[in-house]
Every structure is written in structure tokens, then in C-alpha cells.
Structure 1
Amino acid sequence: MASAAPPAGQTKGQSGTRTANADLGAWLAVAAGTLGALMATLDISIVNSALPTIQGEIGATGTEGAWVATAYLVAEIIIIPLSAWLERLLGLRRFLLIAVTLFTGFSVLCGISTTLNMMIIGRVGQGFTGGAMIPTAQTIIAQRLPPHQQSIGTAMFGLVATLGPLLGPLVGGWLAENVSWHYAFFLNVPISALLIVLLVVGLPDQKAKLHLIRQADWFGIAGLALGMGGLTVFLEEGSREEWFASPLIQKMAIMSVIGFLLLAYGQATAARPVIKLRLLLDRQFGSVALMGVALGVVLYGTSYAIPQFLAAIADYNALQSGKVVLLSGIPSLLMMPLVPFLVRKLDIRIAVALGMGIMGLSAYMETGLTLESSGGDFTDSQLMRGVGQILGMLFLSQAVVQSVPAEDAGDASGLFNAMRNMGGSFALAGISILQQSRVWLHSRRLEETLNANAPAVQDYVTGMGRAVGNPDAGMRLLGQQIQGQALVMTYNDIFFAMSLVTIAVIPLVLFLRPLPRNASLAAAH
């Protein structure tokens, strides 16, 4: 005889016991976690399209302006592995309330910044506190929702995590063009106020466990901060400072070495290391982590490079650039309802190879840019990138959880997220290096093809001078054309490098194991 249907508001678990549906408080907590993750992921890229305007107002050069984006990512890399320990130390609600309050304060600091140093301090603070809200959102879903409803929370989080970085340039661009770039940061104030209310209502208070301070992997924490911070400065500033000829670069190199040695010491001696690097020794997880780095290179690299190109070459404003970046979110949004079906039916090796291949091809399609290129030239590649992104991010996130023991799932997720952000940080540093070195190289090569005494060159220069009514302006205009062509060629090199990185990791899919048929949907960021 068929078993009786469970009462309204309840469902039957696999063991036959009845599992109650989540109450209103639980869903308010999930809404709070999702809203916090949206705010944090939005602020990763909210400055990208408005960056040319911000640079002008705070007196930063193009290469220095990259720090406005990089500072946030580096701080996230450091805080994400620490989030689980801080949550246990302070209690989830108290930890999030502190993070949201500080995030608001640092957002205001960014909004009132008048110098590059002031902006970088604010962005580092945003990264530390905003990064804490991303993994804790997944914790809320796991703790506050019953198993049969966690897929709903996971889908909400997945949608937010995917669209946040894509909406950032559009929101920031609209505010920069219609209000002021300052409000790209002030926007966080009312959102944070709502988030605080949801946290207070939806999450129960938990007793702090301050004794855990004594058990912390302080060597690992210090090493992670010094190592990643020093390495990022080393990469960002090395080319401009002529590498080891600069005392700053020498100090950053020493700081990085000391940091990574401290991190290694913490790995060997701490009862619970700040980040379990030994997980990288697992064949499957190590492969997933390396592909996560490549994923970050393309995701964050293209969302930074495209607005910069359009502003410099096509004279796009921040809003126009933001609309181009958002195009890649359309396929992700349309494919999101298919996520459960894809996870069950599509082999992970095929899915990841296809996703990374599409992303690599989309970057390669952007290697043929010219001085006449505009936003329309990015339409096809951006739409393709959206398809590749949802396949790559979705299935790699599933592989993270399935490739390690259950007790290491939290550490693996934090390490994977940190590796992906590290890829983004490397991409921004690489873009800065290529902009400095390749523009100079291409300019010299173009100049070498021109003989100043050649009649054709003389006629061309004279003709340009006459066209603008100033015979002496011809040579200056020719120099501007050479610089413009060199800049376009440099961006072609940048997109080609991102394409190579993505294609190079595709063979790693051979180390992945198929997902179990009954695998639960893991949240992705």
C-alpha cells in the first residue's frame, strides 16, 4: 500500500523520515546571505567601466589604475580561506554583522577618495570584508535550509555569483554617467542597511569561541598576506620600476619569499592550517584548481580589458562599456534553469573541456581588433564567453566538492575560490605588464618601417598638416596614429595570451572523474 503523503509544509527524506520545510526566518537568512554575496561580487567589477573617469579624478595613470581592481581581488584571496575560522571564532551572525559594517565604512572611504592611496586602502578593506560574505552565504544555505530545499538556495546563490561581476560594470557605468562615480560605492550604504536588518532577524545569535584564537595558524595567516600581497606588488610594479633595479621590487620579492616560507611552515606545524595546500596534491583537485586559475584569468581579465579598450580606442563612456560586458551574462541567465539537467546528463570532462574551449575561442576572436573596432565587435565573443563561463564554472564547482573527502569540502571550496581570484589578480598584473612593454615594442617596430626622408612619408605628413590647417602638426598626428596602432596591437596580444592560458589547461580534464548520478548541486562563486 502506498505510503501517506506528508503533511503540508513537509516532505519525506530519503530515509522515510519527514523533514520540515524551512521557516520564514531561514529564508530571510538565505536572502541576507545572497544579498551580501551580490554586493560583494558586484563590487569586484563595479569600477571597471568607470575606471578611466576615476583615474582622472584621483590622479592615477592607466597602469596605476589597475590597482583599484587588483587590491580588491588580492584581499579576497586572503580572507576567503580565513572565513570558516572567523565564523567559528565569532559566530556566524556576529561575524557577518562586523563584515557588513566594515564593508560599508570602506565603501564610503572609496567614494570620498581623492588620491590613489586613499582609494587602494578602501578597496583592500572592501575586499577583506566583502570576500567574507561570499563563502558564508554558502554556509547559511547549508545550515538553515533542509536538504530538499538547498537546491533552491544554491540556484539563487549561483545566479547572483554569476551575474554579480557582469552587472558591476553596467551599474558602475550608469552611475558614473548619470550621477557620479562616487555613488558606485555609496550605493552599498542602503543595501548594507537592509542586509543588517535581514541578518538580525534571520540568523540566531551564537556564542563566540574566543579560545580559538590560540589555535589559529598565525604563521599561515601572516604568510598568506605577505606572500600574496608582495607577489602582487612585484608583478604589478615590476615592469614600470625596471624590476630588480628598484629597491621597492627587491623588498617585495623578499617579502613574498618570507611570506610563502611562513605559509609552508604553517602547513607543516599547524593542527589546522589556514589553507590546506596539501589538497592540491590530489590529482583531480589539483587539476580543478589550475583550471580555476585559468577561469579567473579570462573572467576578470576580459571584464577589465574590454572597458579599457573601448574607452581608449572607441571613446566609449562608462555606461556603453558596461553594456558590452553584460552581454556575456545573457547566456548564463538563460542556461541557469538547465543547470540541474546538465549536471545529471553531461559528462564533466566533456562539459569542462567544452566550456574552457569556448572561453579560449572567445578570447581568440578578440585578437583581430583595429582602430575602427567598437562594442559591436565584441558581441559574438561575449555571448560565447557566457556559454563557456556557465559550463566551466558550474562543473568545476561540482568537481571541487566531489574530489575531496566531505570533511575537506569547505577548505577545498575556499581554496578553489582563492585560486580563481588569484587567476584574476595575475590577469590584471599581466595586462599592466603587457601594456607597458608591448606598446613600446610595437611603437618602435612601426617607426622602424617608416623612413622620415621617404617622399611618401613626407607627402603623408604634409597632407595631414594641411588637413588640420597647421602644417607643423603633421608629425605629431603621425605619432598619435602610431601610438594608437601600437595600443590596439597590445590589446590583441592581451586577448591572445588569455586564449592561450585557457586552451593550455584543457588536457587537465583527463584527470577528472565523472560525477555521481545522485550528486547534489554544489554552490558556485
Structure 2
Amino acid sequence: MNTANTSTVETQDPPVGQSSEAVATPLQPKPAQAVLSRRLAIGLIGMLLASLLAILNEQVTALAMTDVQGVFSIGHDDGTWLTTLFEAANVATMVFAPWFGITFTLKRFTIGAVIATMFFGFLCPFAPNLFTLYALRVLQGIAGGCIPPMLIIVALRYLPPEVKLYGLAGYALTATFGPALGAPLAALWTEYVSWQMVFWQIVPLGVLSCVAIQQGLPPDPLKLERLGSFNWTGFLTGFPAVAMVVIGLLQGDRLDWLNSGFIRVMFGGGTLLFVTFLVNEWFAPVPFFKLQMLSRRNFSHGLLTLTGAVILLVGVAAIPGQFLARIHTYRPLQTSPLSLLVAIPLLIALPATAAVLNLKRVDCRWVMAIGLSLMVTTCLMGSFMTSEWVRENFYFLQSLQIVAQPMLIMAILMGVTTGLPPTEGPFASAMFNSVKTFSAALATGLIEGLGTAREHFHSHVLVDHLGNNALIASQSIDAAHGLGELAHRVHEQAVVLTSADLYRVMAGVAVALLLLVPVLPVRIYPPWTTTPPSSH
């Protein structure tokens, strides 16, 4: 129930000659409504810019890493660790960042994290050797992982109920608009400016966000006494657990998954430590994860749906780019229009979706169902792709995402956050952001692993088919003017079939999430309404 919108009033029988209104005495004064002042709005914009900075830093560096490896003369295998170590540190940090944010205050902690992210990013181009670059990427991953969770906490704490969904739309903007800008910016810096800008692009945005946060957010007192009750068991088991599993996911395809002893150690050790972490969190007096919140149906449904939604968003963004790069040798500059087609309209679509969900008569479950249905449509249409498809063939599919993504993400955010008291904001932020970033690593591992397996399968089937039909094979070789050209055609067709399979898998994920909508979540209402939201 939204305590900011209700008050408890107890009445007693009036003395003779007095009306009941004259003696009705409230037991508690009505809580003061939050007010969105101009100064606070500046602070919130600063938090939004800081979160966008963290997402852009992650996405652009990952997409431009091939160029960075070329500059430093780093081989492919060593180069993969530049992204893996960053992501492992980034995801693991998000579990614990809200606790530190409350302890050191949201303003100080966020500004410190932004400055650290800029500082380590600025140093990356000057790294004298590979191991120094590894260390800088780990430190930047830790600093960047501290930023996004702060945005949800600030939105839940300071925004009035009437505009809370618009604040959450700002967070959704960082999760959808930010990644969509990754490819265009990576292409801009590497093709036209300088590879150093891949790391330095965040500096102007970081300075602006720090100034806005410092000027806009109200000061909070330090709570250093919390350090005495720091949950060391949770930290020492949770941080390496998450990092190990993420490393296993991102290095699994390269090292052949469970056929590698290293990957088995990462998954086995990480899983064991994570189970220990969860058991500790259940009983810890000051936990990082408040697992009891999962008893709320909408909260648990939101986290479950978030996992599938992130897999969907990563998949529908990655499949066209990989297909065009491998079939038509597109560079990031040539695939950028696909990303921009989604990114720019989201600036309007996300606030518009928030406005719709802010209407009391709108059921967010229907909004989520429509968004998932559009996702299913997109994936099924993509599964009919052929080798003749070029960038223009994906435009309509990407256009559907302009409507689908805001409906899905905003409905999830509304379900997770509505009814949460401010004291539970840090727990919700830690769990939500950790699940979101971990799901992105899971999606990457799924797409790479499944893509490799299906491509090998289709290649073997095509080669066997040619081998079992000598006449067809002979004609194909004559038509292709040699075995080399025939091998290229087999590889091309295998890539097409693999991309179609990945689209079908994404459709299956969307259908599974769609089937949960009428079963698990219950009806909730916008934060401004006095109608109590159901959460159990």
C-alpha cells in the first residue's frame, strides 16, 4: 500500500452537542507529499546522465574492442578478456552498490563512482601493457557498476507518486536507449574521430552529471555506523560467485563450455558460492538481497520476466547485426541505422508508455502482454530470413521494437516498484539491477553457444547432403567455379539457418513469458492512486 497517499484516522464518540467532525483526531499526521522542485529535477537529470554514461561506456567499449585490440596488437583470445573482466566486475558490483550508496549517501557515492569511471577510462589508452589494461578495465567495471542502481533508489525516494512512472521511464531509457546508441557511437569514434574516444567519450557527460547531482540532490548524513554491521560473509561469497559465473558465460563458447576444466570450475565454484550467499542473505540481519521480497507475486514475476526480457532485447539487437556482418561484411557504421531506428523514437515512446500506465483504468498486465506479443511477431517474422536480406529488410522488424520494448520494460518496472516503501528501495534496486546485468551476460552466452552449435549442425547437414548427392555436388562445384566458392556458399547458408533458429528461440522465450502473464502477476494500480495495490 502506498503510505504516501493515505493517513490513519481514528474517531471517538462525540460529547453531547458536538459533531463527530469536530472531535475526529488523527493518530498520525498525514505524511508530507514529495514535491518535484526545479532543483531536485536537476539532480534527477544528473542521475539519469550518470546511468546513461555507465551504459554507454559498457556498450561502446565492447563493440569497439576489435579496433582497440588492433591498436594494442592484442590477439583475439587475450582480447576477449578485456570485455569479460569488465562485465564480471560490473555485474558483481551491482549486488552491493546500493548498500554502499546508503552508507556513504547517494550524492557522494554516485559522484565518486562517476569520477572513478572517468578516471580509469581516461587512463586506458595509456596502458603500457596488457595486464595494466586488464586491471584498468576491472577497476572501471567496478566503478561503472556502482552507478545504475542509484537511479532507481533516487526515483523511489524523491519522486512524487504522480510522476514516479516517468522517473522509471528515465531508468528504462538507460536500459533501452543507451544500448541502442552503442553501435552508432562506436562507429563514429572508430571510423571518423579516434579510437581513444571509445574510452574518453564519457568525460564530458560525466562532468555534467556530477555538477547536476551536486547541485540538485538534497544532502544526506553519512551513515558510517553501518560499516560496523557490514555483511562480510555475503560480500566474500557473493562477489566472487557472480564474477565466476559471468566469466564462465562469456568465455564458455571460446573454451568449449563444460569440455573445459576452467569453465567447469567457474560454473561449479560460482554456483556453490552463490548458494552459500543466498542462504546467508536469508538469515543476515543486514542483507544485500532481501529475499523475503520474493514472496510478493508481482516482485518475483517482475524479476523472472526481466530475465527473459533482457534475453529478448539482447537477442533481437544482436541477431541482425551479426547476420549482416557475417553475410554482407557490414561494419558497425553500416548497421548503425538499425540501432538508431529504435533509439531515437524511444525518447518519445517511453514517456508515452509511462503516461498510459499512469491511467488508473489501464492494467499493466495487458500492456506487458501486448509488448510480448509484438516481440513474438518480430521473432517469427525474422525466422523467415534468407541470404538476400540486407539492412532494409530489418527495418520493419526494428520498428516493432519501438512499441514493444517500452511496453514490456515499463510494465516490469511498475510491477516491481509499485507499493515498495522507500526503505526497501535499495534492496529492490540491488536485486533488479543484478538480475538485469546478469541476464545480459546470460543472453550473450546463450546466443554465442547456441549459435555455434546450430551453425556446426547446419554445416554438417549441408555437407552431408551434398556428399550424398554426387550430381548436385558436381553441378554446384561447376556453378561455383571451385571448392572454395562452394564452401563459402555452404557457410553462408549455415549462418542464415542459424540466425533463423536464434529468432525462433527468442520467440519461444517471449511465448513462455506471455503464458506467465495471466497466471502469476496480480492487478496493480499507478503509484498516485489511493487504491491499494495487491502484491501477494
TM-score higher than 0.5: yes
Match of 1:334 among 328, 348, 351: 348
Match of 2:458 among 428, 432, 442: 442
With over 3 angstroms needed to count, the CA separation of the structure-2 counterparts of 1:151 and 1:365, relative to structure 1, is closer
Question: What amino acid is the match of 2:356?
Answer: F
Match of 2:363 among 347, 354, 366: 347
1:222 aligns to 2:236 (yes or no)? yes
Partner residue, 2:187: 173
C-alpha displacement at 1:446, in angstroms?
A: 0.8
Count of paired positions: 500
Provide the C-alpha distance between the structure 2 equivalents of 1:426 and 1:145, rounded to a whole number of angstroms.
32
1:246 aligns to 2:288 (yes or no)? no
Match of 1:460 among 476, 482, 489: 476
C-alpha displacement at 1:514, in angstroms?
A: 1.6
1:418 aligns to 2:427 (yes or no)? no
1:513 aligns to 2:522 (yes or no)? yes
Partner residue, 2:205: 191
TM-score normalised by L of structure 1: 0.84
- 3-state SS of the aligned residue for 1:46? helix
With over 3 angstroms needed to count, the CA separation of the structure-2 counterparts of 1:476 and 1:38, relative to structure 1, is same
Question: What amino acid is the match of 1:482?
Answer: V
Match of 2:178 among 164, 168, 187: 164
Contact 1:100 1:196 in 2 (8 A): yes
C-alpha displacement at 1:462, in angstroms?
A: 3.8
- 3-state SS of the aligned residue for 1:490? helix
Provide the C-alpha distance between the structure 1 equivalents of 2:430 and 2:453, rounded to a whole number of angstroms.
34
1:485 aligns to 2:490 (yes or no)? no
C-alpha displacement at 1:387, in angstroms?
A: 1.1
With over 3 angstroms needed to count, the CA separation of the structure-2 counterparts of 1:426 and 1:322, relative to structure 1, is same
Question: What amino acid is the match of 1:441?
Answer: F
Contact 1:293 1:421 in 2 (8 A): no
C-alpha displacement at 1:71, in angstroms?
A: 5.0
- 3-state SS of the aligned residue for 1:328? helix
Question: What amino acid is the match of 1:306?
Answer: P
CA shift digits 1:430-462 (9 cap, x unpaired): 112123322222111110011388244234324
C-alpha displacement at 1:185, in angstroms?
A: 1.9
Provide the C-alpha distance between the structure 2 equivalents of 1:449 and 1:396, rounded to a whole number of angstroms.
46
Question: What amino acid is the match of 2:371?
Answer: G
Contact 1:49 1:308 in 2 (8 A): no
With over 3 angstroms needed to count, the CA separation of the structure-2 counterparts of 1:508 and 1:453, relative to structure 1, is closer
Contact 1:348 1:512 in 2 (8 A): no
Provide the C-alpha distance between the structure 1 equivalents of 2:404 and 2:147, rounded to a whole number of angstroms.
26
Partner residue, 1:201: 215
With over 3 angstroms needed to count, the CA separation of the structure-2 counterparts of 1:492 and 1:453, relative to structure 1, is closer
Question: What amino acid is the match of 2:99?
Answer: W
Match of 2:37 among 22, 27, 43: 22
Match of 1:303 among 306, 314, 317: 317
Provide the C-alpha distance between the structure 1 equivalents of 2:497 and 2:76, rounded to a whole number of angstroms.
17
With over 3 angstroms needed to count, the CA separation of the structure-2 counterparts of 1:287 and 1:67, relative to structure 1, is farther
With over 3 angstroms needed to count, the CA separation of the structure-2 counterparts of 1:298 and 1:115, relative to structure 1, is farther
Contact 1:52 1:308 in 2 (8 A): no
Question: What amino acid is the match of 2:201?
Answer: L
Partner residue, 1:7: none
C-alpha displacement at 1:210, in angstroms?
A: 3.0
CA shift digits 1:120-159 (9 cap, x unpaired): 6554433432232223234344555666666665555554
Partner residue, 2:4: none
Partner residue, 1:79: 93
With over 3 angstroms needed to count, the CA separation of the structure-2 counterparts of 1:396 and 1:63, relative to structure 1, is farther
Contact 2:168 2:413 in 1 (8 A): no
CA shift digits 1:488-522 (9 cap, x unpaired): 2222222221221121121221221222255479x
Question: What amino acid is the match of 1:423?
Answer: S
Provide the C-alpha distance between the structure 2 equivalents of 1:27 and 1:419, rounded to a whole number of angstroms.
28
With over 3 angstroms needed to count, the CA separation of the structure-2 counterparts of 1:459 and 1:62, relative to structure 1, is farther
C-alpha displacement at 1:416, in angstroms?
A: 2.3
Which deviates further from its counterpart, 239-248 or 85-94? 239-248
Which deviates further from its counterpart, 170-179 or 403-412? 403-412
With over 3 angstroms needed to count, the CA separation of the structure-2 counterparts of 1:390 and 1:443, relative to structure 1, is same
Partner residue, 2:272: 258
Match of 2:329 among 312, 315, 340: 315
- 3-state SS of the aligned residue for 1:393? helix
Contact 2:152 2:425 in 1 (8 A): no
Question: What amino acid is the match of 2:388?
Answer: E
Which deviates further from its counterpart, 236-245 or 368-377? 236-245
Which deviates further from its counterpart, 440-449 or 167-176? 167-176
C-alpha displacement at 1:388, in angstroms?
A: 1.1
Match of 1:287 among 297, 301, 305: 301
Partner residue, 1:376: 392
Q: Mind listing any 5+ residue stretches in structure 1 that lack a counterpart?
A: 1-13, 466-473
Contact 2:120 2:137 in 1 (8 A): yes
1:385 aligns to 2:404 (yes or no)? no
Equivalences for residues 348-367 of structure 1 within 5 A? 348-367=364-383
Partner residue, 1:498: 506
Contact 2:177 2:344 in 1 (8 A): no
Identity %: 26
Provide the C-alpha distance between the structure 1 equivalents of 2:84 and 2:495, rounded to a whole number of angstroms.
21
Which deviates further from its counterpart, 375-384 or 319-328? 319-328
Contact 1:79 1:132 in 2 (8 A): yes
Contact 2:117 2:143 in 1 (8 A): yes
CA shift digits 1:311-356 (9 cap, x unpaired): 2222222122122122223553333343223331321221111112
With over 3 angstroms needed to count, the CA separation of the structure-2 counterparts of 1:115 and 1:352, relative to structure 1, is farther
With over 3 angstroms needed to count, the CA separation of the structure-2 counterparts of 1:242 and 1:66, relative to structure 1, is closer
Contact 1:363 1:496 in 2 (8 A): yes
Provide the C-alpha distance between the structure 1 equivalents of 2:183 and 2:375, rounded to a whole number of angstroms.
20
Provide the C-alpha distance between the structure 2 equivalents of 1:448 and 1:233, rounded to a whole number of angstroms.
36
C-alpha displacement at 1:64, in angstroms?
A: 7.9
Question: What amino acid is the match of 1:302?
Answer: V
Contact 1:439 1:486 in 2 (8 A): yes
Provide the C-alpha distance between the structure 2 equivalents of 1:44 and 1:208, rounded to a whole number of angstroms.
30
Provide the C-alpha distance between the structure 2 equivalents of 1:176 and 1:240, rounded to a whole number of angstroms.
26
- 3-state SS of the aligned residue for 2:118? helix
Provide the C-alpha distance between the structure 2 equivalents of 1:118 and 1:318, rounded to a whole number of angstroms.
28
- 3-state SS of the aligned residue for 1:449? helix
Question: What amino acid is the match of 1:495?
Answer: Y
Match of 1:430 among 446, 451, 469: 446
Contact 1:352 1:396 in 2 (8 A): yes
Which deviates further from its counterpart, 429-438 or 101-110? 101-110
Contact 2:43 2:217 in 1 (8 A): yes
Question: What amino acid is the match of 2:496?
Answer: V
Q: Mind listing any 5+ residue stretches in structure 2 that lack a counterpart?
A: 1-28, 531-536
1:395 aligns to 2:411 (yes or no)? yes
